């Protein structure tokens, strides 16, 4: 007859089986935690990517708009200088007959100096826009680089953490294998769970790496597009300034005649 003290006792194998069942459950929970950690990291990478992309595009639009505005202001100034010079020349041209010779030299000087000012101002405006574009593109690339570094750092940190956690879980299973009371069936089950953890880490790490690589490629593409938008704005701004310069010079030449040689603005 079994003693009352032994009625609820389990055999050693049964206790080991229960222990291993708990261990296997713990391994499955660990795998879920690892997946959740990777999923959270992927979400964070997506947020970093989205914020960086929005900032890069917004900065490029602001820079392009400012360059176009600056070009329009510079163009207006060039035309205004020409019109003021023409007005000054017309005033000088209304002198008495005996002063015509003297006034001719003055008119010529007004035309020459105004032409020089307009040409120089156009060059300065173009150079200013080129400098502004260069600074804007550098700023965009720096923002992209910062975001990429954040993504790489987060990806590496989570990958390392997940791998270390998986190794610890497998060590626990190895300890179960080496236990004197562990049966062959439980050893096989422990091996299966080790492979389960290995596969979980592999799939999660692969997904994390792919998301990180995609986000980085997306940031590069956004930066290239933003840089091109700025470059296109530079081309349009330069064309606007040079068109205004030529128009202003033609206005001067209508009064004083064109110079013998006209040097193009680089």
Look at residue 1 and tell me if it is in a domain: no
Give the distance between the most distant pair of CA atoms in the chain: 148
What pLDDT score was predicted for residue 195?
78
Residue 6 maps to a domain: no
Domain boundaries, position 41: 12-256
Q: Find all residues with CB under 8 Å of 79, minimum gap 6, and list them.
A: 244, 247, 248, 251
- pTM, full prediction: 0.68
Structure token digits, residue 164 = 């270390």
The predicted structure's pLDDT at residue 186 = 61
In a domain, 264, yes or no: no
Q: Which segments in the chain show pLDDT lower than 70?
A: 1-27, 92-105, 107, 172-190, 257-266
- Answer whether residue 103 is part of any domain: yes
Q: 23: domain CATH number?
A: 1.20.1230
Kindly report the number of other CB atoms within 10 A of residue 7's CB atom.
7
For residue 195 the two structure tokens come to: 């492979």
Which pLDDT belongs to residue 117? 84
Nearest 5°: phi and psi at 260?
-65, -40
Kindly report the three-state secondary structure assignment for every residue of 20-65: HHHHHHHHHHHHHHHHHHHHHHHHHHHHHHHHHHHHHHHHHHHHHH
Q: What is the pLDDT of residue 4?
A: 44
Q: What is the pLDDT of residue 219?
A: 92
Do the domain assignments include residue 261? no
Q: Is residue 263 part of a domain?
A: no
d(CA 24, CA 91): 100
Write down the pLDDT at residue 12: 41
Total number of domains in the chain: 1
Region for 11 from its dihedrals, namely left if φ exceeds 0, alpha if ψ lies in -120 to 50, beta otherwise: beta
């Amino acid at each position: 007859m079994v003693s009352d003290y032994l009625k609820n006792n389990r055999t050693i194998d049964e206790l080991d089986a229960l222990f291993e069942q708990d261990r296997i459950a713990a391994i499955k929970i660990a795998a879920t935690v690892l997946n959740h950690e990777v999923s959270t990291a992927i979400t964070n990478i997506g947020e970093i990517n989205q914020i960086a992309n929005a900032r890069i595009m917004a900065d490029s639009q602001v820079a392009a708009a400012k360059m176009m505005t600056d070009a329009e202001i510079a163009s207006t100034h060039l035309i205004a200088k020409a019109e003021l010079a023409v007005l000054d020349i017309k005033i000088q041209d209304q002198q008495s007959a005996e002063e015509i010779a003297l006034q001719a030299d003055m008119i010529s000087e007004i035309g020459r100096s105004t032409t020089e000012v307009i040409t120089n101002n156009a060059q300065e405006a173009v150079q200013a826009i080129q400098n502004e574009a260069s600074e804007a593109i550098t700023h965009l690339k720096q923002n992209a680089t910062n975001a990429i570094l954040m993504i790489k750092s987060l990806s590496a940190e989570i990958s390392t953490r997940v791998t270390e956690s998986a190794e610890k879980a497998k060590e626990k299973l190895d300890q179960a294998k080496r236990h004197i009371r562990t049966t062959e069936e439980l050893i096989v089950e422990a091996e299966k769970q080790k492979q389960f953890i290995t596969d979980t880490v592999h799939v999660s790490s692969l997904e994390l790496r792919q998301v990180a690589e995609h986000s980085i490629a997306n940031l590069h593409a956004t930066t290239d597009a933003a840089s091109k938008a700025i470059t296109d704005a530079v081309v349009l701004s330069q064309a606007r300034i040079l068109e205004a310069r030529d128009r202003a010079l033609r206005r001067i030449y209508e009064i004083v005649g064109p110079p013998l040689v006209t040097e193009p603005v680089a």
